[in-house]
Amino acid sequence: MTARESFPRLLQAEWTKLRSVSRWVITLLGATALTIGLSYLAATGNKWDPRSQAEFTTGPLGEPVTDTFYYVHQQVTGATTLTVRVASLTPEPNRRSVRMGPDRMTRIEDPSPFAQPAAGIMIKDGTRRGSSYASVMLTADQGVRMQWDFDSDRKGSASAGTRWLRLVRSGTTITGYESADGVAWQKIATATPKNLPPTAEAGFYVSSPNDVYTTRGGGSSSAGERPTRAQAAFDNVQLGSAGTWHGETLGQQQPSEKSETPDEGRHIEANGTFTVTGSGKVGPKQPDDDMVEAALIGVIAGLMALIAVGVLFATSEYRRGMIRSTFAATPRRGRILAAKAIVLSVTSFLVGLVGTVGSFLLAIPVLRNQGFVAPAFPRPSLMDGPVLRTLLLTAGFMAGVAVVGLAIGMLLRHSAAAITITILLVIAPLIVGLILPGTSPKWLMYTTPAGGMATQRAKPPTITLAEPWALIGPWAGIGVVAAWAALTLGLAWWQLRKRDA
């Protein structure tokens, strides 16, 4: 019998061992039940304050957005060409930390192209917050960009100095251009905003997003915002109509509890040059709280059950002395370890997947009844890309930790010690991470299996939440767990070769 033929039989033998022990099968089913049951119970006690919904504006795509800036504009109808030269852009210097009330807070760096001080031109459906638009802008740190409908972004040149900008509307499409000299033009992109009527507003604007500051640690987190301003000079303004330019701050919002009062924007015109000062942001505004993550909180309970099965799958044969027969039948011990790891990981992945999908389907309707509704929380679908990624990676996380338990069981050959150590590798960093301040818990997440908890988030990493795993991304989290599984399996294989059964 060849190796190719024998390994499938070895897999079959290990699968038979796993499914033949009734208490292991019951524990696997219990892992699914615990995951779904705890997720459902937690959802019933998780509330979102409905009053905070007033802070959110819905964009043309139905997502929560922010739409605040100073706009110098006039009405245009039909085909339109708007050209300006941005002669200068001067953002306000950043402050690394500020004191808000009793707290000393640290500024959060936001690399998003929507979170840059900018001076640009725009064609917009009126002056309502959240209405369709297309814009070309010069940003403070990311060069020239073209953006539309709070969602789409295209990169232009990396220029940081004077830049000519142009928008050309033809029917339902708007094309953005840039130029260094106003003669040779380079196309950036063509946009088709969702709801742009024949008569719209065209003009130039300045925005400067609020700086967000946060403090976290001791099991809690707090965030606040500080308005910023930017100033820009526009000249060589060219528009086919002869209307009058009007300047106003669009979308002005009231400051929140830990926010300073924003300054009103303004503009001054002298000899064809407009000096414009403005604040605010045009872009997405997703809350950091994650509805999908909230629906999967029971994963930690199901994970404990899978750890127990993983460890016992390794140690039970040693306790009963059956391992000698296994090694006699298959002297290549590494193959036995590989077969056990494959059978356990596939089984645990399927158990975890059933648990996460079941939790999602049951908990999401409960969370919606508890206030997690649009515009802050659009209804997630099982087929949404981020949701599907979250469910698959979370199941992978559960399988990976089960394999770590298997490997530690092989190393220690003692069930209670191996189960305790594996659980501590997940739980202890989470507890310590809740206590440590600032971003310091990030390194615990990058170096322990607890980082796999990040797979439960469908949204990007953030420092504004108390959960330490929210500091890293889901792919980093699953990568950490995979590294731990590979490391512990490697050590188990090395010890199997050296030590007698």
Give the domain extent around 132.
58-284
Are 95 and 122 found together in one domain? yes
Are 228 and 300 found together in one domain? no
pTM beyond 0.85: no
Residue by residue, pLDDT tens for the chain (501 residues) are 444 458 888 888 889 989 999 999 999 999 999 999 999 999 999 988 766 666 778 899 888 899 999 999 999 999 999 999 999 999 988 887 777 777 777 777 788 899 999 999 999 999 999 999 999 999 999 999 999 999 999 999 998 889 999 999 999 999 999 999 999 999 999 999 999 999 999 999 999 999 888 887 777 777 788 899 999 999 999 998 778 999 999 986 554 444 555 567 899 999 999 999 999 999 998 888 999 999 999 999 999 999 999 999 989 877 765 665 666 566 677 788 889 999 999 999 999 999 999 999 999 999 999 999 888 888 999 999 999 999 999 999 999 999 999 999 999 989 999 999 999 999 999 999 988 887 889 999 999 999 999 999 999 898 888 899 999 999 999 999 999 999 999 999 998 877 655
Are 294 and 443 found together in one domain? yes
Are 320 and 437 found together in one domain? yes
**Looking at residue 258, what is its pLDDT?**
47
**Looking at residue 3, what is its pLDDT?**
45
Are 382 and 482 found together in one domain? yes
Are 100 and 73 found together in one domain? yes
**Looking at residue 213, what is its pLDDT?**
83
Query: What residues contact 458, with CB distance under 8 A and at least 6 apart?
Result: 290, 291, 292, 293, 380, 384, 386, 387, 389, 390
Are 233 and 313 found together in one domain? no
Are 45 and 80 found together in one domain? no
Q: Which residue, 284, 317, 339, sits at the end of a domain?
A: 284
Are 247 and 369 found together in one domain? no
Are 388 and 279 found together in one domain? no
Strand order in the sheet with 211-217: 97-100, 103-107, 211-217, 220-226
Q: How many domains are contained in the chain? A: 2
Q: Which residues lie across from 228 on neighbouring strands?
A: none
Are 192 and 251 found together in one domain? yes
Amino acid at 14: E
Strand order in the sheet with 199-207: 152-155, 144-148, 133-139, 118-124, 199-207, 69-77, 246-250
Q: What is the CATH number of the domain that holds 126?
A: 2.60.120
Q: Which residue, 284, 312, 339, sits at the end of a domain?
A: 284
Are 298 and 271 found together in one domain? no
What is the DSSP code string of 76-88? EESSEEEEEEEEE
**Looking at residue 326, what is its pLDDT?**
63
- Residue 287 is encoded by which pair of tokens? 């809350």
- Report the alpha-carbon distance of residue 417 to residue 448 in Å, rounded: 18
194: nearest Cα among 245, 144, 141, 148: 148
Q: Which residue, 284, 315, 334, sits at the end of a domain?
A: 284
